[in-house]
Amino acid sequence: MEALMSRHIEGEGTPELQWQSWLAQAPLNTTPADALLQGCQRVVIVSPHPDDEILATAAIMQYCEANALPCTVIAVTSGEASHPGSRLWTPDQLAQARERESAQALALLCPGSQIIHLRIPDGQVQDHQPQLESRLQQLLRATDAVFCPWRYDGHPDHEATGEACAAATADVGSRLFEVPIWTWHWASPGDQRVPWQQAVRMPLSAEQLDRKCLALSCFRSQLLPDPSTGRPPILPRWATARLLRNFEVILR
């Protein structure tokens, strides 16, 4: 997690309009899911927090559903630390609510998917990274295609998850794909810290994007303000706008 401060997440980040202008001309290849997943027998999505799997890999999950390809979501944490000091939510209530929201969202995108909850403490994935890596080594297979946040995504839990996935897939022989999530916040168009040469676009049809938006709407705990603290939503519109495009970007 070297130089994490250079990927600091604060304020509203880079506006989506700037990204749209750049992405319209960026030389990112469009790759259909069947080409990306050729030879894989199962898709495994490793999600640091409930909702990351929807924000990052909705196209892949819908492909799995349409093509009867097994899909497993490994939920690293239950997201219980998202509302510190709240009188509306206790950590236990948040964990239960967010696991329920994730199940509802997955039922919309990929009803046949399996969810495995590891329940590593939210905000402490780095401290439990050896444990996570060990569990992944037990759960992954050589014929899996594994999707996780980019190991330099900027959020400590995302980076620890990405690092654990990189180590585990190297050990098991799985194919690894990393996905920028918070990268769109701290990075800027053409940012040399991002390996754009490894990036491909995964297109979403209008119907697929509608389903992704509907799935995201299940996460009410993250989309509504907390009146007990006066804090805005965890996922405000300016953040979700960067992840509700008609394509997703994957690093291969």
Instruction: With CA atoms as reference, report the closest residue to 218 among 14, 16, 11, 58.
Output: 58
- The answer to whether 70 and 41 have CB atoms below 8 angstroms apart is yes
Per DSSP bridges, beta strands 144-149 and 175-179 are parallel
Instruction: With CA atoms as reference, report the closest residue to 234 among 7, 45, 51.
Output: 51
Task: Give the Cα separation of 159 and 183 in Å (integer).
Answer: 11
Of 18-32, 97-111, 122-136, 165-179, which gets the smallest average pLDDT?
18-32
Unique residue bearing structure tokens 């929201």: 101
What is 33-251's CATH superfamily? Answer: LmbE-like (3.40.50.10320)
Task: Give the Cα separation of 64 and 94 in Å (integer).
Answer: 29
Q: Give the pLDDT confidence score for residue 3 in this predicted structure.
A: 55
pLDDT at 215 over 70: yes
Question: Residue 8: pLDDT band by 50, 70, 90 thresholds?
Answer: confident
The strand order across the sheet containing 71-75 reads 29-30, 199-203, 247-251, 175-179, 144-149, 42-47, 71-75, 114-117
Q: Give the pLDDT confidence score for residue 2 in this predicted structure.
A: 54
Question: Residue 243: pLDDT band by 50, 70, 90 thresholds?
Answer: very high
pLDDT at 241 over 80: yes
pLDDT at 210 over 60: yes
DSSP single-letter state for residue 103: H
What is this structure's pTM?
Answer: 0.96
Which residues in 169-208 are b (16+ Cβ under 10 Å) and which e?
A: beebebbbbbbbbbbbbbbeeeeeebeeeebbbbebeeeb
Q: Give the pLDDT confidence score for residue 4 in this predicted structure.
A: 60
pLDDT at 5 over 80: no
Q: What is the longest distance spanned by two Cα atoms in the chain?
A: 50
What mean pLDDT do residues 231-247 have?
A: 97
